[in-house]
A and B are shown apart, each in its own frame.
Chain A
């Protein structure tokens, strides 16, 4: 990732234009061509520097719902429980964390009633308590890149 890539990613935090040739427009602001913007984005995605480029949807605003859930999984059952949790398409992310509560996952669905159902099913299938930690308020600011 070079300085121009960083400029590009920072610029995209401000939003991407909705017009016929948006990459060319972004390129104008950076002094490069639209083709170079596309080439750089493709490379950043391929390298995994960016995990996604496109419309960022809000599950709740789409009429769905999202929550964060946590479980304290015994070490000897960790992989078994991870497989049960990950099998749900509604589980968007799942992270192992260094804590007594060692499994943290996000459940998102365009069908709000699925959230409680998935948590309840995971609790029943694993015999473990599932903490439901939905976002009540967001204090939002974009991540800035280190200089």
Chain B
């Protein structure tokens, strides 16, 4: 309970919200009335479950209720993590440009670790082939001109683990 109180003070989540999070970690029930099913499991009214989910979406604790696609299965058989060294004064502007491209799913600013790691902008670039990803990265570089002080594309060769966020028990 001390942890639940802790969450309450931090983010407005209480122990019941936390139970809803725990009950939906594996997903939303695939039954005609999924919120009723959750309510039964948790000993709440369906209205309460729905009200709390709406509130968690409003507060940002839940981004949305939705589907997470497997990019490979959707025909994006190649994806590369492109990393860019962008002057600090341009990085937000460049991030917004890259983040709005159709071939880019995620675009983040992250800290550099010089000299090991000079890059401050990450963009996942998707394509049907590695050649297509390379073309897209070249097109991005052309768009950025001298704001691109250097970039690389890192391809994943193996998924070593993929479980998603788990709450501490």
Residues of A within 8 A of B (CB): 1, 9, 12-13, 15-16, 18-24, 34-35, 38, 41-42, 44-45, 47-59, 61-64, 66, 68, 70, 82, 85-86, 89-99, 101, 103-105, 108-111, 114, 129, 131-146
Minimum CB–CB distance from B147 to chain A (whole Å) comes to: 14
Contacts of B11 in A (CB 8 A): 61-63
Query: Are A137 and B95 closer than 8 Å at their CB atoms?
Result: yes
User: Which one of B6, B62, B75, B155 lies within 8 Å of A98 (CB-CB)?
Assistant: B155
Query: Are A23 and B32 closer than 8 Å at their CB atoms?
Result: yes
Contact pattern, B 44-87, Cβ under 8 Å of A = 1, otherwise 0: 00100010011011011111111111110111100001000000
Interface size bucket, B side? 35 or more
Query: Are A21 and B33 closer than 8 Å at their CB atoms?
Result: yes
Minimum CB–CB distance from B86 to chain A (whole Å) comes to: 12
Query: Are B156 and A62 closer than 8 Å at their CB atoms?
Result: no
Contacts of B53 in A (CB 8 A): 18, 55
Minimum CB–CB distance from B60 to chain A (whole Å) comes to: 4
Residues of B within 8 A of A (CB): 3, 6-7, 10-11, 13, 21, 24, 26-28, 30-36, 46, 50, 53-54, 56-57, 59-71, 73-76, 81, 92, 95-96, 98-100, 102, 104-111, 113, 116-117, 122, 126, 128, 152, 154-168
Interface majority SS on B: helix, strand, loop or mixed?
mixed
A105–B160 CA distance with the chains assembled, in angstroms: 9
Residue of B nearest to A109 (CB): B168
User: Which one of A52, A68, A104 lies within 8 Å of B164 (CB-CB)?
Assistant: A52
Query: Are B75 and A58 closer than 8 Å at their CB atoms?
Result: no
Contacts of A15 in B (CB 8 A): 64-66
Interface majority SS on A: helix, strand, loop or mixed?
mixed
Known A-B contacts A38-B32, A136-B109, A136-B111; the reply to A98 vs B65 at CB < 8 A is no
Interface centre among A62, A133, A137 (most CB of B within 10 A): A62
Minimum CB–CB distance from B74 to chain A (whole Å) comes to: 6
User: Which one of B30, B74, B102, B161 lies within 8 Å of A91 (CB-CB)?
Assistant: B161
